[in-house]
Each structure stands twice: as structure tokens, then as C-alpha cells.
Chain A
Amino acid sequence: MSDNFIEIRDLSFTYGQRMVLKGINLTAHRGQVIAIMGNSGCGKTTLLRLMGGALKPSSGNLLVDGIDMGLLDQDGLYQLRRRMGMLFQFGALFTDMSVFENVAFQLREHTDLPEEMIRDLVFMKLNAVGLRGAHDLMPSELSGGMARRVALARSIALDPMLILYDEPFAGLDPISLGVTGNLIRRLTDTLGMTSIVVTHDVQESLKMVDYVYFVSEGVIEAQGTPAEIKASHLPYVHQFVHGEENGPVPFHYPASSYAEDLGLPA
């Protein structure tokens, strides 16, 4: 068995006329936490959706555990997805079910386990994210950070090999941010899975990831370990890591000349 859990080779993706991703190469080993960073609209969420099989690559190969995602039919995809978890940006908990039922959902759908065993498993997963006491609350009664943790418990219900995180840190307070970051690291290590984190939260993710890919306008602009990224002198990475207003990503949206718009003589 190869050590590469995810392998992307020369992947391109076109949406209508627009080329969203161009010639992406990416590798994720088992047990690694990989961050995909970039500014909004750079194509990083598209890349995540491709890994989850929600989109098909226009060209190139995307292998998950040695299986080519581009060649899978619906049944094959659903088979593979049972070994995958995904954490959506705002949790995407089922609002008509309690916390307990949310975590139990996949166990009920995909297994014939007896009720006591489902109960034990759900409590174990909820305990791992520190929310065993919240099992009978409804999603509307949870704070943003708690909802994210319940969703994390739900995504590990079937002990997946891979978890995809779409902006797990968006809109969280500093405490929840740290808690979520630590949880992603700890769960990846204890369950021996692979985690792909799409984020633009540089400081939090550089603390816990193994490797970083920077995406800009559909291509991988830079990659490296957190230490390499912090020391990088590439203008784009420097601007991103230090949050500078101007750089390769300009402050101004492309426009005609300012003087012309104000009606001033040139």
C-alpha cells in the first residue's frame, strides 16, 4: 500500500468558460494534516469539493487511497465516501435532529448496530470533542464553536480514513479557534487518518499542520512546511502570512483610471 493517501496529478478544472484550477499537483500522506490556503475565490474550496467527489476533474488524475475519483460511478463514490468525513463551514448539522441523532445519523444509515452500541459509540465520539453533556440539545441551542465540534464528532462517526475541512476556523472566537485546531490535530493523530484543511486562517493553521499548499488564481503558488512558509520571501506568501494590504493581490479591483471616473482632465 502506498503511503500517499491523496495524490493529485496535473489536475485542471473548468467551470463553464472559466478555468478554476490549472495543473494542480498535491500529495497527502497518511496521518498528515495538510492545509490549503489562499485568498477568497482562489479555487481552494473547489479543490476540496473535487477531493470529496462532488465535482469531477476536467483533466488530470485525483487518487484517493489509490482510487481514481474521476472514474467512479455513483455507487463507487458512495462506497468511498463511507470512509470519508467532511466538516462544512458552519457545521451543516441537521436542524431537525438533536446532537445525539446528528452523530448517530451515519451509524443508523449505514450499519445495523443494536441501539446500545450506537449509544456507546455516539457518546464516545461526543466525549472526544468534549460535548457528551450536550447530547440532547438541538442544533439551534448550540454556539458556533459547539456546532462545529458536534459536526466534527459526526464526521468521525464511522472512523473515516480522510476528513475534509471547509474553513473550520471561520467565525470562531479565539478560544473555540484554539480548541478546534487542537481537536483536528489530536483526532488525526489518534485515529491515524488524513486531514485536509481549507482555510485562510494563517496563524492558527501554521501551528498545527504538517504541510501547506498556497493556491492563487487556480495554481499552486507555493508549498512547504509551516517553518518554510513563515520564512518564505515569495511576495504572495509574504503578503498572505503577514496580512499586508498591497502586494501581488492588489487592494483595488481592476478599474479604469481614477481621474477619468471623477471626470477630471487627464
Chain B
Amino acid sequence: MMDTLLESVRGIGRRTVDRVWRMGVAAHFFLLVLLHSGTSFRRFHLIVREIFTAGVLSLIIILVSGLFVGMVLGLQGYETLQTYGSEEALGVLVSLSLVRELGPVVAALLFASRAGSAITAEIGLMKATEQIAAMEMMAVDPIARVIAPRFWGAVISMPLLAALFSAMGVLGGYLVGVVLIGVDEGSFWSQMQAAVDFKEDILNGVIKSVVFGIAVTIIALFEGYDAPPTAEGVSRATTRTVVTSSLAILGLDFVLTAFMFRGV
């Protein structure tokens, strides 16, 4: 009895120490990526390629989802606002929810499952097929050649994708609210213009998406780089990327929101 109790306490301790240890390794990895970023900026074509694979190839899912989220916001917002007779404020509701929250958060969640998982799988497979080891044997540092360009490619793409997501969402809200339901077009746009502040709303949204971009990408890269070089290891790492980065996005969003919008 005492033994099983002790064993379970030890188990908890061991798992906690393992997690903390892994976080330390990940932090060290993050530092290494930053240290080796200079080389990839000198050879910008490497980053451009990664912007294409992480950013451009995620466009479809981001644009379509943005449009639908905006359309749903238009429908739901109209339903609620009309009870108070203020359906002209639909533009404000749609745009503020998108630029402040839904744009950065949903775009980052989609990015984690589309681009993040792909990054983990790619790096994990490069490791499993000894491509990373081959690169080291050729005296080329894989952090500088493979990891850092992917990091910057994804971090640059993320805010652009979030901005496009929000833009498509506003368009979706407009289509449903103005074109379909018939909210007054002039007040839809003018109230939106008056209510959305560049610094307070848009800039904060951009900051959020940059932070989410860094979090998602470093998680995806680390999981791939740290994955056991087997089929099972890579598949587990891919799952962990999506789960961990989704949790990180939502947790960070709360923290950032608490700092940015304190009911001011």
C-alpha cells in the first residue's frame, strides 16, 4: 500500500521534472535558433521559400475560414443587435471581434494545424532519414540551414495570414449583414471606421499574431527536431505540435488580452 503510494508520488515527480527539463531544452533550442538567424537573413531566398510553404500554401484554408467566420458573425450579431434596435453597429461588432480576437486566434489555430504539423512532420522525417545527420557531417549546421529559415518564414507569414483572415471576415460580415439582410451600408462602414482604433485594436491584434506565430513555430520546430526518428515518434510529435500549440495560443491569448484590453 505504502509502496504503491510512494511509487505514484515518485511518478508525478518524475513527470514534472521531465516536463520542466524539456521546457529548458526547448528554451535553449529557441535561443540557438535566434543566434543562427543572421545566416538565414543573409540568404533571404531560403526564408522566401519557407514563406511560400508555410504562408502561401495556407492561404486557401485561412481565406475560406475567415469568410465563413465573418458570415456567422454577421448572422449571430444581427440577431442579437436587432433586439436592442442597434443593428447599424453590426460593422463594429464584426470588425472588433475579428481584429482583436478571432483573427489572430483562429488564424493561429488553423496555422498550427496546417503549417505547424507539416513543419514537425518534415523535420521529423528529415531526422528519421538521416538528412539532418548528413548535413552535420557535411559541416553545415542544420539549425542555421534548416530550422532558422523555417522559423522566420512562418513568423513573417503569421501576422499577414491573420490580417487576411480578418479582412475576409469583415467581407463575410458585410455580405451577410448588408447584402443579404439589408443593414444600412453607410452606417455599417462609418461606425466601423469610427470605432476601430489603429493602435488600440489593429496594432494589438498584430502583436498577438506575432506572438502566436513565434509560439506555434518554435513548438512545431522543436517537436520535429526532438522527435524519436521512427514512424511512431514522428506521428506522436505531429499530434503534440497541434495540441501544445493550440493550448499555447489560447493561454497566451488570455494573458495578452489581460494586458491589452483592461476594459479601457
Contact = CB atoms under 8 A, between A and B. Distances in A.
A106 B140 contact: yes
Contacts of A95: 125-126, 129, 131
8 contacts: A52-B137, A78-B141, A86-B134, A92-B129, A95-B126, A105-B138, A105-B140, A110-B139
Contacts of A238: none
Contact of A81 (B126, B129, B131, B138): B138
Contacts of B134: 86, 88, 92, 94
Nearest to B145: A109
A88 B130 contact: yes
B136 interface: yes
A107 B133 CA distance: 18
Contacts of A105: 138, 140
B137 A84 contact: yes
Please classify how large the interface on chain A is, using the bins under 10, 10 to 19, 20 to 34, 35 or more: 20 to 34
Interface string B113-132: 00000000000011001110
Nearest to B138: A106
A79 interface: yes
Interface string A61-93: 000000000000000011101101110111011
A221 to B, nearest CB: 28
Interface residues of B, number: 15
B57 to A, nearest CB: 14
B131 A94 contact: yes
A52 B141 CA distance: 15
B76 to A, nearest CB: 43
A88 B133 CA distance: 9
Interface of A: 52, 54, 77-79, 81-82, 84-86, 88-90, 92-95, 105-106, 109-110
Contact of A54 (B131, B133, B138, B139): B133
Contacts of A92: 129-131, 133-134
A90 B145 contact: no
Contacts of A110: 139-140
A79 B139 CA distance: 7
Nearest to B137: A86
Interface in B140-179: 140-141, 145
A21 B245 CA distance: 42
Contacts of A82: 139
A142 to B, nearest CB: 13
Contacts of A90: 129-130
A106 B136 CA distance: 11
Nearest 3 Cβ contacts at the A-B interface: A92-B130, A92-B134, A81-B139
A90 B129 CA distance: 8
A75 to B, nearest CB: 10
Contacts of B138: 81, 105-106, 109
A78 B129 contact: no
A83 to B, nearest CB: 9
B129 A54 contact: no
A40 B145 CA distance: 33
Nearest to A166: B130
B128 to A, nearest CB: 10
A54 B137 contact: yes
A112 B145 CA distance: 17
A81 B137 CA distance: 6
A85 B145 CA distance: 19
Contacts of A78: 139, 141
A164 B212 CA distance: 43
A81 B134 CA distance: 11
